[in-house]
């Protein structure tokens, strides 16, 4: 059938258009003082080339379908909020390094391929619990991420600026361009682990375990290549996919495109957009927008999404039960997961649906210290993850991935871990404007723990 006709049929069945969200209640959207400037920025954005391609998006969907079937494991990680100022070669490379290191540790534990998805190249917009905050008696709009406004506590900085949408798109393009070039140039080549060794690996409490593991991977690789008499296929290439919270609907819409030879609509600002927990109402604008795009999509689920609501959301977002379409990223908190997760897993199983389950052990474990730092404790993060593995296994389901807020930098934002960071250490290198991230060592340590869980599971 002619593509145009097929498209018309799909569109009428869905009664959906890239802007149909605007007829629904859209939470967490900034209030721009100057709408013509916003319209101009969005018009410009919709003419700029896409950041990713539909075939990459389709390839990721296939990989996620495989992960749902237990054939691979997903590592999704990166900053809570990327900052424009961190769009530098060193920061981007460090982020890739930690993700590569973690994924190798996971490959070893899981004995299956690992799909790497960064929270990067577009993770610039943040939902906030309050629209305004009081700074020394002055009421200011909350900081909503570099895509929207700036964090400094002045009215000027906090006023949403539409031109930041273009700056964000450009930063995302620069980030992705560098990542693609690094990967293509052999940065992630397994024969050269020294390319992605972070400076402080040597001093880390996990150094020995990590290096032993690396040695065993490179030894196996050499062994394989000796037998094959040729380089092992793919060992010089590791793919990264991008993801971000699809929060600013004008921005997402402007990057939503039709492409030659395919019927659907694709959000080509990222491979894997997700809906955050604050914008997941079934009749809300975010769900309306997401239901019409063909990307694989993530949904944050937790206390706020009881089983009947979850099933309704799944019917809206995945009526055709397409493999790889839905990833449920659950985030309860170490104390709540034992009661909260089983009803969701049971409901999904009873509905005969197969989805990819990923555990986000970060967002349910956020708390504030007495000195006012927002932090998370490594022990609680680990506990939630470990419980997640056990709950899925007990219910005949399985955990197919982890979703972590992390950085390749040596920050002090989360307490705990092998180096025993405590509340009094947090001030030393506390950088985040939004949520606290695991630092390099804590990330690697968590990967080693997950690998042990996966190893035990595969026995």
- The binding site for ligand PEP (CB under 6 A) comprises 80, 127, 276-278, 300, 331, 363, 435
b/e per residue, 160-174, with b = 16+ CB within 10 A? Answer: bbbebbbbbbebbbe
Angle formed by the axes of helices 337-350 and 378-394, to 10°?
Answer: 30
Shortest distance, CB of residue 228 to ligand PEP, whole angstroms?
42
* Count of helices and strands (H, E) across the chain: 13, 14
Task: Specify whether the CB–CB gap between 277 and 305 falls below 8 A.
Answer: yes
184 has binding-site annotation:
no
363 is in an annotated binding site: yes
User: 86 a known binding residue?
Assistant: no
Q: State the Cα–Cα distance between residues 124 and 79, nearest whole angstrom.
A: 9
> Residue 171: which of ligand PEP, Co ion, none does it interact with, CB under 5 to 8 A by kind?
none
- In the complex with ligand PEP, the residue whose CB is nearer, 300 or 392, is 300
Q: Residue 331 binds which one of Co ion, ligand PEP, none, with CB within 5 to 8 A depending on kind?
A: ligand PEP
Q: How far is the CB of 176 from ligand PEP (least distance, A)?
A: 20
Nearer to Co ion, 273 or 292 (CB): 273
> Residue 119 annotated as binding?
yes
Residues found near Co ion in the complex (CB under 5 A): 80, 435
Which CB sits closer to ligand PEP, 45 or 81? 81
Shortest distance in whole angstroms from residue 107 CB to Co ion: 26
Q: Classify strands 256-257 and 266-267 as parallel, antiparallel or unpaired.
A: antiparallel
Cβ-proximal residue to ligand PEP, closest one? 276
Q: Which does 116 bind (CB under 5 to 8 A by kind): Co ion, ligand PEP, none?
A: none
Shortest distance (Å) from residue 244 CB to ligand PEP: 9
* Minimum distance from residue 86 beta carbon to Co ion (Å): 15
**387, containing H or E segment:** helix 378-394
Tell me which long-range contacts 62-67 makes (C-beta under 8 A, separation of at least 24): 62/324, 63/115, 63/324, 64/115, 64/272, 64/296, 64/324, 64/327, 64/356, 65/323, 65/324, 65/356, 66/324, 67/115, 67/356, 67/400, 67/401
Q: Is 202 annotated as a binding residue?
A: no
For Cα atoms 294, 292, 285, give the angle at the middle one, nearest 5 degrees. 135
Q: Is 359 annotated as a binding residue?
A: no
- Report what 198 binds from Co ion, ligand PEP, none; CB cut-off 5-8 Å by kind: none
Q: How far apart are CA 259 and CA 118, in angstroms?
A: 24
Q: Of 183 and 399, which CB lies nearer to ligand PEP in the complex structure?
A: 399
The nearest distance, CB 237 to Co ion, in angstroms, is 30
Residue 158, marked binder: no
Name the binding residues for Mn(2+): 80, 363, 405, 435
């Amino acid at each position: 059938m002619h593509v145009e006709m097929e498209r018309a049929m799909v569109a009428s069945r869905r009664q959906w258009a890239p802007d149909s969200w605007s007829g629904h209640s859209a939470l967490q959207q900034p209030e721009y003082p100057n709408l013509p400037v916003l319209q101009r920025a969005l018009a410009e954005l919709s003419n700029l080339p896409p950041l990713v391609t539909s075939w990459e998006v389709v390839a990721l969907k296939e990989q996620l379908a495989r992960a749902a079937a237990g054939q691979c494991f997903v590592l999704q990680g990166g900053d809570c909020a990327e900052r424009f100022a961190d769009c530098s070669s060193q920061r981007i490379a460090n982020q890739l390094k930690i993700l590569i290191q973690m994924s190798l540790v996971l490959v070893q534990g899981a004995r299956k391929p690992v799909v790497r998805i960064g929270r990067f190249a577009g993770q610039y917009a943040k939902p906030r619990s309050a629209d305004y905050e009081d700074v020394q008696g002055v009421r200011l709009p909350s900081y909503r991420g570099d895509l929207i406004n700036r964090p400094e506590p002045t009215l000027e900085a906090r006023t949403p600026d539409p031109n930041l949408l273009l700056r964000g798109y450009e930063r995302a393009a620069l980030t992705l361009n560098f990542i693609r070039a690094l990967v293509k140039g052999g940065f992630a080549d397994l024969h050269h682990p020294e390319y992605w060794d972070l400076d402080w690996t040597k001093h880390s409490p996990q150094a020995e375990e990590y290096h032993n593991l690396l040695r065993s991977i490179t030894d196996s690789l050499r062994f394989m290549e000796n037998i094959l008499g040729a380089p092992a296929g793919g060992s010089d290439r590791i793919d990264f996919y991008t993801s971000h919270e699809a929060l600013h609907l004008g921005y997402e819409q402007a990057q939503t495109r039709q492409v030659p030879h395919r019927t659907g609509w694709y959000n080509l600002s990222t491979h894997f957009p997700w809906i955050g927990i604050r914008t997941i109402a079934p009749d809300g604008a975010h769900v309306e927008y997401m239901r019409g795009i063909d990307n694989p999509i993530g949904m944050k689920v937790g206390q706020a999404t009881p089983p009947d609501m979850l099933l309704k959301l799944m019917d809206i977002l995945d009526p055709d039960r397409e493999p790889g379409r839905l990833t449920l990223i659950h985030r309860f908190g170490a104390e709540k997961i034992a009661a909260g997760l089983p009803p969701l897993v049971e409901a999904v199983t009873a509905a005969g649906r197969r989805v990819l389950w990923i555990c986000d052990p970060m967002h349910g474990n956020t708390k504030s210290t007495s000195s006012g730092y927002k932090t998370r404790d490594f022990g609680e993060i680990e506990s939630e993850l470990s419980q997640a593995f056990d709950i899925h296994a007990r219910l005949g389901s399985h955990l197919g991935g982890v979703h972590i807020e992390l950085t390749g930098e040596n920050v002090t934002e989360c307490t705990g871990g092998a180096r025993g960071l405590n509340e009094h250490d947090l001030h030393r290198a506390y950088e985040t404007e939004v949520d606290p991230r695991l630092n390099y060592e804590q990330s690697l340590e968590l990967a080693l723990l997950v690998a042990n869980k996966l190893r035990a599971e595969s026995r």
